[in-house]
Amino acid sequence: MNGFRKCLSGISIVILCGVTTIISANAVPAHLKYQKIECVKNISDSSTIGQEFSEVSTKGSSQTALKSDSLIFQKIYAEALLRGHSYSLLGELCSMGPRLSGSDNAEKAIQWAVNELKKYSFDRVDTQSVMVPRWERGEKEQAWFYSEVFTQILRGNRLKGSDALEKMVHGVQFPSSPHPEWECESYLEQGLTPSKRYKMPVAALGGSVSGSVRAGLISVRTKRELDSLGKEGKLKGKIVLLARPMEESLLNTFQAYGGCVNQRVNGAVWCAPYGAVAVLVRSVSNRCDMHPHTGVTHYDPNIVKIPIAAVPTSISDILEYLSQKDPALEIALDLFCKTLPDRPSANILAETKGQMSPEKIIAFGGHFDSWDQGDGAHDDGAGCIHAWEALRILKAIGYQPKHTLRAVFWINEENGLRGGEEYARLSKAKNEVHIAALESDRGGFTPRGFGVDSVLMPGVKKYQAMLSEYGVGLLEMGGGGADIGPLKKYWSSIGFVSFIPDSQRYFDVHHAETDVFSSVNKRELELGAAAIAAMIYILDQELD
């Protein structure tokens, strides 16, 4: 790290309280250079000014350097908010539908992105071939539950009057649900009539085998509980519901996600050895609704593969309740998934070449693939568009980086990480020295700050006050991300940065059919792109 700054251009622009004047750099009198930076207070549309910033900082004190940085930040934010491309680009991307690795749709979207990127005249737009796994959901899965107790509840309450159903909804005790008051989209609000069986939405987990089963249901929340029942032989021939909810008291929803996602990833491997015939998993979501949230699951080659699917949180509450009240409760589940041979796909790269050390690369991006539910708007269309827009913004404001800035859209993060692995491998094979990498994979929500590796933190800290002015002053120790992680194998001194937006709504839509363009707020997305552009500027300035 150092504080070196490069003189960027022979032109300087002076802003005198809102009036912009272009004069030769050499002709700028010292007092005007000072005035130039003093007069900038608010974010203004300063698109007409060019590459003037480092004129002052090169020759001035660290204080003037900071003021010059401040001007660059303003330009970045003005470009993002006044002339942003992020929202329309994400809209176009999402209009193509989901981008599951190995799907035709993903390949179409890759082609679209490459064609569009080429219109921006970046120094380089390219792809890297990657073989990706190919799992397909197949025909829409189906599931029902059979419960006489449930039928009695419906029938009995229907007879009691017009408000009885609502009363029943509140009256049914789900004492351990995180949504005891049912302030949610409820199954029982969907006009159910008493019946022999009740259809419920489910989504096969990514990688699941197909299967058609009908069996009784056992519900558990912990691995210990599961093992205990398993050892007693009570899971044999059963479908197991893994019903642990997210811990709602945790402010960081990613922490809550981490506390229960293992039942989704390992559910089949946990339950099959005890003779279970299928697994249902409570969706890993904070919302109480009727949308199943899929996600990757895995099998062990030495353990029999059983079908596994997510159920909506609303349904999980009902099934957990019924599994305790109705010994005759049964579930029927039909999954039609299939795994096909790997197929070629690609990572996408776009670059602005560095002026001083073009051989050194700062990479930043997100993953281009999504699940097949929804359109992957937040996960992780937003992350790719953040990177695309950050690269565009820095070019549009005339910033000439020291190092090569590379936006990367990695493929296959969701169910294989082949893109991230291959990217890192190729970086070493081609001796592309990576000095820093940033990943955005937490959605397009209001930016709050960044996770920053210790090696980068001292340099980044210098800008914390300025970042705070834009609402992104949160600097947590430790950066990283699934796709950039493999780079560390080859570039041990690399520093990682994670983009941190607000996390409260991310798991409402994560891996569900609700992760669509309309769930993304235009300004929040634009602010994210601006924050990342600002961070890339900081890294470029601070790294050797």
Binding site for Zn ion (CB under 5 A): 379-380, 441
Read off the tokens for 384.
């790719």
- Report the distance separating Cα 466 and Cα 196, nearest Å: 63
- Report the distance separating Cα 200 and Cα 291, nearest Å: 10
Q: Minimum Å distance from CB 146 to Zn ion?
A: 36
Of 79 and 441, CB closest to Zn ion: 441
Task: Tell me the helix, strand and coil percentages in the chain, rounded to 5.
Answer: 40, 25, 40
DSSP per-residue letters across 452-505: E-TTTHHHHHTTHHHHHHTT--EEEE----TTTTTHHHH-TT-EEEEEEE--TT
The full length of the chain comes to 544
Read off the tokens for 171.
């009256």
Of 351 and 441, CB closest to Zn ion: 441
- Amino acid letter at 537? Y
Of 289 and 441, CB closest to Zn ion: 441
- Report the distance separating Cα 173 and Cα 294, nearest Å: 27
Of 23 and 482, CB closest to Zn ion: 482
Of 211 and 365, CB closest to Zn ion: 365
Kind of pairing, strands 142-146 and 198-199?
A: antiparallel
Of 141 and 380, CB closest to Zn ion: 380
Of 177 and 415, CB closest to Zn ion: 415
Q: Minimum Å distance from CB 472 to Zn ion?
A: 20
- Report the distance separating Cα 295 and Cα 282, nearest Å: 12
DSSP per-residue letters across 293-328: ---B----TTS----EEEE-HHHHHHHHHHHHH-TT
Q: Minimum Å distance from CB 110 to Zn ion?
A: 17
Task: Provide the 3-class DSSP secondary structure of residue 236.
Answer: coil
Of 60 and 295, CB closest to Zn ion: 295
- DSSP lists the bridge partners of residue 438 as 364, 497
Q: Minimum Å distance from CB 412 to Zn ion?
A: 11
Alpha-carbon Rg of the chain, whole angstroms? 27
